[in-house]
Amino acid sequence: MADISSLGDLRGKRVLVRSDLNVPLDGTTITDDGRIRASVPTITALSEAGARVVVCAHLGRPKGEPEAKYSLRPVSTRLAELLGRPVTFADDTVGPSARAAVQAMADGDVVLLENLRFNAGETAKADEDRAAFADDLASLADAFVSDGFGVVHRKQASVYDVATRLPSAMGGLVHDEVEVLKRLTENPERPYVVVLGGAKVADKLAVIDNLMGTADRLLIGGGMLFTFLAAQGHEIGTSLFDADSVEACKGYLARAQESGVEIVLPVDIVVGKEFSADTATDVVDADAIPADAMGLDIGPRSAELYASRLADARTVFWNGPMGAFEMEPFAAGTEALARALVAATEAGALTVVGGGDSAAAVRQLGFRDEQFGHISTGGGASLEYLEGKSLPGITILSD
């Protein structure tokens, strides 16, 4: 796939960069700027090459029209700080403000357009419904660089359609993400351990299915573990549970036994009466959850067990926290898992934190990005890649 060098001399050229700047906000305060920091190297490289860099991105899930709480204006301020140069913010995406900002650019300048998803054409399902918006976006530039890995699994105007209208290339962030994922899927160094957590088992079923033939061990945590416990016939109380996925989980447990893949489930659980940081807690055996309690984290013996199953790993992929890490009483399992990954990294393993809540958790718990082999910027894109799906934003750059 073509990289930025394939676009030739960019001095004076307008380059539209699709970045992923979808960061968490508390009001107008950015609570984790990891995705903005990850976007900086490609934007800097283009600016220093003399390109006129027009950055586009989305934030949140507006319904195809402007919503003040989803404005990218706070992001433009942080982006300017990290770039160490001014960033002009356009108040619209393809309207008068955007066109005036682009028209006024000098070589090396950076403009950030307002939220792409303020325009219904960005996320429209039908090709013809995205076409006009894609045409308007493409008219702002002479070339396109895809650098938002967190959206490459979406067939959207700024990800897919613009690449059919302009000379296009892969940015450094997307290139690095794809190279890491290749190492997870093409002859990974063994033992290969995959840790899956998070709330919904249904979101991970296809990944588990595909990994049955690749991974040596699957460690299961988070809300999804209770569907596995239910599949084993255990009482799970009022824990998060996906009744529609029980039979699938039974099937995976049976297949794992037949194929020699080790599925590791918790042996103890931190429980409470309600989903609250103030609820009274207890640690119980995983097969002895009280009928009136809910599981909110893996227990301390489970944390030790999981660390032991990571100790000899040479390749690790982790997606999804072990418990409700946002609440201090239920963060210990996720913190222990992160420490085990740091130890594996220090022992020479390739460790990949698969974006989304996992990335947010390790940062919130005080870990540094460089303590892991790679922190992905795209949880959903990473999972779909591991499912074996083709990613539209990648395939269009290969055509």
Residue 59 assigned as binding residue: yes
Both 164 and 272 in one domain: the answer is no
For 160, which DSSP code? I
Range of the domain at 360: 187-387
Question: Was 204 annotated as part of a binding site?
Answer: yes
Cα(197)–Cα(325) distance, integer angstroms = 11
Are residues 230 and 171 both part of a single domain? no
Residues 376 and 229 in one domain: yes
Cα dist from 39 to 42, 164, 296, 339, whole Å: 6, 23, 34, 27
Residues 194 and 111 in one domain: no
pLDDT tens-digit series, residues 80-95: 999 999 999 999 999 9
**Which residues are paired to 272 by β-bridges?**
281, 294
Phi, psi of 17 (to 5 degrees): -110, 120
Asked if residue 216 and residue 160 are part of one domain, the reply reads no
Same domain membership, residue 341 and residue 212: yes
Summarised one tens digit per residue, pLDDT across range 44-72 is 999 999 999 999 999 999 999 999 999 99
CA distance 152 to 204: 18
E strand spans, 227-345: 262-264, 268-272, 281-285, 294-298, 315-319
DSSP 89: E
In a domain, 399, yes or no: no
pLDDT for position 239: 96
| Ligand-binding site membership of 326 (annotated) | yes
Amino acid at 391: L
- 344 with 241, same domain: the answer is yes
Q: Flag whether 21 is marked binding.
A: yes
In a domain, 29, yes or no: yes
**How many domains in the chain?**
2
Residue of 358, 257, 267 whose CA lies nearest to 316 = 358
170 and 240: one domain?
A: no
Q: Do the Cβ atoms of 118 and 66 come closer than 8 Å? A: yes
Catalytic residue selected from 356, 373, 379, 393: 356
The reply to whether 296 falls in a domain is yes
Residues contacting 209, CB < 8 A, separation 6+: 252, 387
Of 306, 321, 329, 308, the residue nearest 362 (C-alpha)? 321
Cβ–Cβ under 8 Å, residues 365 and 335: yes
Residue 112 lies in a domain: yes
Residue 398 lies in a domain: no
Helix, strand or coil for residue 22?
A: coil
> Which among 111, 140, 175 is the end of a domain?
175
pLDDT tens string 246-286:
999 999 999 999 999 999 999 999 999 999 999 999 999 99
For residues 155 and 191, state if they share a domain: no
295 is in an annotated binding site: yes
- Choosing from 175, 198, 224, the residue where a domain stops is 175
Q: Was 73 annotated as part of a binding site?
A: no
| Both tokens assigned to 277 | 């940081």
Distance CA 143, CA 166 (A): 5
> Does the annotation list 20 as a binding residue?
yes
d(CA 398, CA 45): 22
63 is in an annotated binding site: no
Residues 368 and 256 both lie in one domain: yes
pLDDT band at 6 (very low <50, low <70, confident <90, very high): very high
Annotated catalytic residue: which of 13, 14, 18, 35? Answer: 35
Given 118, 142, 175, the domain boundary residue is 175
Give the model's confidence band at 202: pLDDT under 50 very low, under 70 low, under 90 confident, else very high: confident
Q: Does 320 count as an annotated binding residue?
A: no
Question: Could you give the CA distance from residue 209 to residue 228 in angstroms, rounded to a whole number?
Answer: 14
22 is in an annotated binding site: yes
The confidence score (pLDDT) of residue 355 equals: 72
Indicate if the pLDDT at residue 371 is higher than 90. yes
Strand locations in the chain (E)? 14-18, 25-26, 29-30, 52-56, 88-89, 110-112, 143-146, 168-170, 192-196, 217-220, 262-264, 268-272, 281-285, 294-298, 315-319, 350-353, 374-375
Size of the chain in residues = 399
Options 222, 299, 380, 393, the catalytic residue: 380
Residue 35 designated active-site: yes
Give me the amino acid identity at 95.
Answer: G
- Residue 1 confidence (pLDDT): 67
Nearest in space to 117 (alpha carbons), one of 144, 153, 151, 164: 151
Q: How far apart are CA 359 and CA 371, in angstroms?
A: 12
Specify whether 119 is located in the same domain as 224: no
Determine the pLDDT at residue 30. Answer: 95
CATH number for 102? 3.40.50.1260
Q: What is the pLDDT of residues 320-351, one digit of tens each?
A: 999 999 999 999 999 999 999 999 999 999 99
In-domain check, residue 199: yes
283 in Cβ contact with 299 (< 8 Å)? yes
Pair (168, 233) in one structural domain: no
Q: How far apart are CA 195 and CA 26, in angstroms?
A: 29
Tell me whether residue 269 is in a domain.
yes
Could you give phi then psi for residue 362, rounded to 5 degrees?
-65, -35
User: Is 395 a domain residue?
Assistant: no
Q: Is 356 a catalytic residue?
A: yes
**pLDDT classification of 356: cutoffs 50, 70, 90:** confident
User: How far is it, in rounded angstroms, from Cα 352 to Cα 149?
Assistant: 15
**Angle (deg, nearest 10), helices 172-185 and 379-387:** 40
Handedness of CA 21, 25, 28, 32 (dihedral sign): negative
Rounded to an integer, what distance in angstroms lies between the CA atom of residue 392 and that of residue 168? 14
Q: Which of 200, 250, 255, 273 is catalytic?
A: 200
